[in-house]
Structure formats: structure tokens, C-alpha cells
A and B are shown apart, each in its own frame.
Chain A
């Protein structure tokens, strides 16, 4: 199984074939899991490019994310066992308290995984206390929050203040996204950054991780 084929399966959203292809690359061909990951990432980069150029839309992005998840099920144990396994930047993602939307958050999680981050996905309807505890427990340096409801955007401020009260705010970058948010509103609520969608979010998180 050549790497180009794996990249192509991601680009063409071939969810039913990706697991076999990754398995073949690892088991039969003895490929390095990190080289397979690079091939997958290349595919996701092209999916992101197609999304930005409006060749792909949200439904394609969702399916690409699911295809990546299938690949990760196979590749993750191999990566953990590899001697190349290294410490990755940790990102906590969650939809804020009172909000059960998760399409954007899930996409962000998958895109971050394929970009080499360790993702701790807390799920939906998550309160500030849980986020603070998870930051303490994992040492994550970036927190990504999603809020799709006007009614729940103030939860971002609650998380910001809870991190501050716990003495963690200076160690953590807070990035947010969601329909009612804007760059200005995000700043007012205490966030460090804002992204319009998951594709943009990954770019911003890469910058935050390097800053």
C-alpha cells in the first residue's frame, strides 16, 4: 500500500476502505506509523484546501473527519508503541455548559489529531469546573471552546474566570468558536483567540502552540 493511495482515500472520503488500507500499510508492508500519519495528514490538508476553495462543504468535512477517525483506530496503538512516540501539545476541547452542538467541535478534534496534537475531547454541555479540573490533570496548554447559542456564550467568560481563579489562566490559551461569536465578542469574554470554523481553528491553534 503506497502512501499516495492512503492520502487519496482521505481526499476522496472513502470511509469504508481506509481501515484496510492503513492496516495493510502497517502490517503487510511494515510501514512506519508516523509515515502513515503523514500520508493521512496530507489528505486532510487537501480536504481543508478544498473546503476553503468551496469544492467541499460541511458534509464532506464531516465525512473526512469520520474517515480519519477510522484510520486513527488502527494507527493509534502502532504510534504509541513506536520508538518515535513523543510528547505532543495537549488541547482540551469542549462545547460549553448548556449547549449540545458538536459538529464544529468534533471536526476541530479530528483536524487537530491529524495535525499531531493530543486532543482531550470533553464532549458537550461541559461546565467550567470540569474544564479546570481537566487542565490541572492533563497539563493542557490550549483550551478550545464551542458555543453555538447566544444564550451560552457567557459560559466562555465563566471558564476564563474559573481558570483565572484556579491560577491556571496564564498557562493556558483560550480559543473559541461558534455562530454568535465574533473576534470582538470573544475578546470581551476573555478568550485569547477566535476562529470562524474548524479549518481556521486548527491554523490558529498551531500558531498559539508556537507562541
Chain B
């Protein structure tokens, strides 16, 4: 089987030739460690633009966003191929630099009203959420008008070109999935408004929150359809619906205000024969039925630090959705030994791999993850993951 067939077989809840191995986006500092540093870093480029265009550098550098993102994600896929992953995900991040360098920070804004800091991760851009600005109905109306106006066209065009370029280059060596990491429906809404205003409106006016989710979902569908036009088959919806000890809101409320939006996305992807997985960190166990009812084909993260019990999840929904993740990024993939990594992968495969429907994957990703540990995760998957399982 090739990477694509292996991953799709697992998503169909079948046993492929072996358990596939996936990771969400590898941070650029680690990509540099795997592939070597590029001649010019993102921050070198930024500084050059600031020097050469002191009055309008944000405007000038924003013209390059598409090519910068294409290059960053393409290198990430190359790194994933180099370490032997079966699947890597890419996706346009809809941020732009703004001419506000408060406290010496390089600030960016996205279409949902979030302010980001472009942090310097060993010369690479690392967008870091600071706060939301869509904290009134009036401000949301402006955001909505923007989303429903020219912005969608801009990003759908960009998405098509972006994915076509990356997939054409790498599709024979790896299965390239698409993600809306940093632009998922729930996080864009709750972070765009800020959690305080979001919580207030959720209590006072849940229909408003439902509408916000649905507007962002329509944008997501438009983008996903463009990616599909360019050949994409697998999507990973960025969710972050839970935190360390439980869901951000009750499963009942999630069903009321978010399920219709998610359903519109999963239906659109399925209609064209695609697959879609939800990524959410945190203690997600109370939301398992919600995830299934939204129509997702899989659930990614299954974070051990948050106490997610893989055996329990397999028992509850393992016959309905594909499970992806459970390899710890707080310790095991940061400073765990080779034995730690092998044992964790072995446990995950033994617990969730039987009968298929499981993909080994890092529960999340951050710059502190250690490259050799990632390689061990892949090696261990290949060692223990061959079907029929012998562990």
C-alpha cells in the first residue's frame, strides 16, 4: 500500500498493511533541523522588508504571504517525508502583518479579528494568539461582511494554488492532508471575540454564537471545496474544543451552537468523496458522541496529558470513527528516551490498533518537540504496526 491508501484504509475503519503514522505541522525550527536552514530566514526577510519599505512594509510583505506560506508548508512536507511519515497536513493561515509594533512585537491580524504576534522561532515565523477584537455585534457585522465579501474569494483562490503546488511536488511520497489550523470554526469564533465576550454571548444569545459558527463554516466549506478542486481528499478541522480537564462548554451546548456548522462542513466534504477529521486537544471524552454526530471520520489528538484514556475511547467510538494521536508531546516526544517513545507507540497500537481505524500521531506539536523522538515514533510505528498485529 502507498501512504494515501494506508491512511484512507484506516479512516475507513479497516486494517491497512500497517498502522499509518501522521503528525500535525512540524514546527519550522525542527524542519530546519531535518532539512538544514534555508539561505534566508523568515525574520531576515521581514527585517529586509522593513529596511527597504519603512513606510509600507506590512503592505509589501503581505503580498508575499502566499509564497512564504507555500514555502514553509512545502518544507514541512519535505521534512515529514524525510522522517518517514505517511501523512502530513498543510493549510493557508489567513493572517497579515499590521503596522503596529506595540511593545516591539511584530503583530498580525486575521479575518476573524484575532491579533497574533509573529514570534521568532529560530528565525522562523511562529504565529502566537494574543487577543480577540470582535467583541460587539457591530464589530462582528463588519467581520461577517468581510468574510462574505472579497476575503473568501481571496483565500479560496490562494488555497487552490497553494495545495496544487505542494501536492504536485510531494504526492508520490506522502499523503498530503489539508488543515485549517489557526482558522478552525470554534477557535476563530471564540478567540476572535475573546473568551469573555464569547462566553457572555453564549449565555445571553446562543443564536448569535450559532450564526457566527455558521458564517465561519461557510467560509471553511468554500476553502475546502477549493482545496478539493486541487486534489485534496483529507481535511483536519482544527477545533480545540476542550482544555486540560474537560470541554469548553457542555456537550449539549456544543450540539446546539456548533453541530449544525460542523455538519455543513462534513456533509460538503463527504458529498465529494473526501474524509474529515476533527483535531481537538484536551480532555475530549465527554464530547465523543458529539464528534460522531457531527459526521467526522476521525478524531485527532487524544492527549494523554489531559487524561484521555485511549482504551476507553476505542471502546466507546472505535467502531464509528478513526482514532489518531495519543503520543505525548509534553514529555515523551520532548525529552523521552527511545525506549519511552517505543513503549508509548507500542501501547497505543496495542490499545487502539486492533481491527484497524487507528493512526499513530503526535497529540499536538510545538517547537520543543525533539526531532530524534519524532523519528523514533515513526520507527516504532513501522516496527509494531504491521497487520496482523503481533503485540
- Residues from chain B with a CB closer than 8 A to the CB of A196 are 244-245
Contact status B368-A151, CB under 8 Å: yes
Stretch of A53-61, A88-96, A113-121, A202-210 on the interface side: A53-61
Contact status B199-A180, CB under 8 Å: no
Q: Identify whether the interface residues of B are mostly helix, strand, loop, or mixed.
A: mixed
A179 sits at the interface (CB 8 A): yes
CA distance A149 to B369 in the complex (A): 12
How many A-B residue pairs lie within 8 Å, measured between CB atoms?
A: 68
CA distance A180 to B253 in the complex (A): 27
Known interface pairs A100-B130, A196-B245. Does A62 touch B329 (Cβ–Cβ under 8 Å)?
no
B200 sits at the interface (CB 8 A): yes
B196 sits at the interface (CB 8 A): yes
Contact status A179-B244, CB under 8 Å: yes
Q: Kindly identify which residue among B117, B245, B368 contacts A150, using a CB–CB cutoff of 8 Å.
A: B368
Q: Beta-carbon contacts of A129-168 to B below 8 Å, as 1s and 0s?
A: 0000000000000000000011100000000000000000
Contact status B306-A179, CB under 8 Å: yes
- Residues from chain B with a CB closer than 8 A to the CB of A151 are 366-368
A66 sits at the interface (CB 8 A): yes
- Residues from chain B with a CB closer than 8 A to the CB of A15 are 200
A38 sits at the interface (CB 8 A): no
- Residues from chain A with a CB closer than 8 A to the CB of B286 are 54
Q: Name the distance in Å between A197's Cβ and chain B's nearest Cβ.
A: 5
Q: Kindly identify which residue among A62, A100, A150 contacts B330, using a CB–CB cutoff of 8 Å.
A: A150
- Residues from chain A with a CB closer than 8 A to the CB of B313 are none
A122 sits at the interface (CB 8 A): no
Q: Name the distance in Å between B85's Cβ and chain A's nearest Cβ.
A: 21
- Residues from chain B with a CB closer than 8 A to the CB of A66 are 196, 199-200
**Interface size on B (CB < 8 Å)?**
32
- Residues from chain B with a CB closer than 8 A to the CB of A185 are 331
Known interface pairs A57-B247, A57-B250, A151-B367. Does A103 touch B195 (Cβ–Cβ under 8 Å)?
yes
A182 sits at the interface (CB 8 A): yes
CA distance A54 to B247 in the complex (A): 10
Contact status B305-A58, CB under 8 Å: no
Contact status A13-B330, CB under 8 Å: no
Contact status B305-A182, CB under 8 Å: yes
A63 sits at the interface (CB 8 A): yes
Contact status A197-B245, CB under 8 Å: yes
CA distance A178 to B198 in the complex (A): 22
Residue of B196, B202, B306 with most partner-chain A CB within 10 A: B196
Contact status B199-A62, CB under 8 Å: yes
- Residues from chain B with a CB closer than 8 A to the CB of A57 are 246-250, 253
Q: Name the distance in Å between B356's Cβ and chain A's nearest Cβ.
A: 31
The residue on B at minimum CB distance from A56 is B250
Residue of A57, A62, A66, A149 with most partner-chain B CB within 10 A: A57
Q: Identify whether the interface residues of A are mostly helix, strand, loop, or mixed.
A: loop
Q: Name the distance in Å between A47's Cβ and chain B's nearest Cβ.
A: 12
Contact status B203-A58, CB under 8 Å: no
The residue on B at minimum CB distance from A197 is B245
CA distance A185 to B334 in the complex (A): 14
Q: Kindly identify which residue among A59, A150, A182, A197 contacts B249, using a CB–CB cutoff of 8 Å.
A: A59
The residue on B at minimum CB distance from A180 is B330
The residue on A at minimum CB distance from B281 is A179
Contact status B248-A150, CB under 8 Å: no
Contact status B129-A100, CB under 8 Å: yes
- Residues from chain A with a CB closer than 8 A to the CB of B249 are 57-60
Contact status B329-A150, CB under 8 Å: yes
B387 sits at the interface (CB 8 A): no
Q: Beta-carbon contacts of A163-185 to B below 8 Å, as 1s and 0s?
A: 00000000000000011101001
Contact status A150-B196, CB under 8 Å: no
Q: Name the distance in Å between B239's Cβ and chain A's nearest Cβ.
A: 14
- Residues from chain B with a CB closer than 8 A to the CB of A182 are 305
CA distance A100 to B248 in the complex (A): 18
CA distance A136 to B346 in the complex (A): 50
Residues B282-309 near A (CB distance < 8 A): 282, 286, 305-306
- Residues from chain B with a CB closer than 8 A to the CB of A179 are 243-244, 281-282, 305-306, 330
Contact status B203-A13, CB under 8 Å: yes
CA distance A63 to B248 in the complex (A): 12
Residue of B203, B334, B368 with most partner-chain A CB within 10 A: B203
Known interface pairs A179-B305, A182-B305. Does A54 touch B199 (Cβ–Cβ under 8 Å)?
no
Q: Kindly identify which residue among B129, B246, B367 contacts A54, using a CB–CB cutoff of 8 Å.
A: B246
Known interface pairs A66-B200, A150-B334, A179-B305. Does A59 touch B246 (Cβ–Cβ under 8 Å)?
no
Known interface pairs A63-B200, A179-B305. Does A58 touch B129 (Cβ–Cβ under 8 Å)?
no
Additional pairs, 17, CB under 8 Å, beyond known A58-B248, A62-B195: A58-B199, A58-B249, A59-B198, A59-B202, A59-B249, A63-B200, A66-B199, A100-B128, A103-B195, A150-B329, A150-B334, A179-B243, A179-B306, A180-B305, A180-B330, A182-B305, A197-B245
Name 7 interchain pairs, CB-CB below 8 A, sorted by A: A58-B247, A59-B202, A100-B117, A100-B129, A151-B366, A179-B243, A196-B244
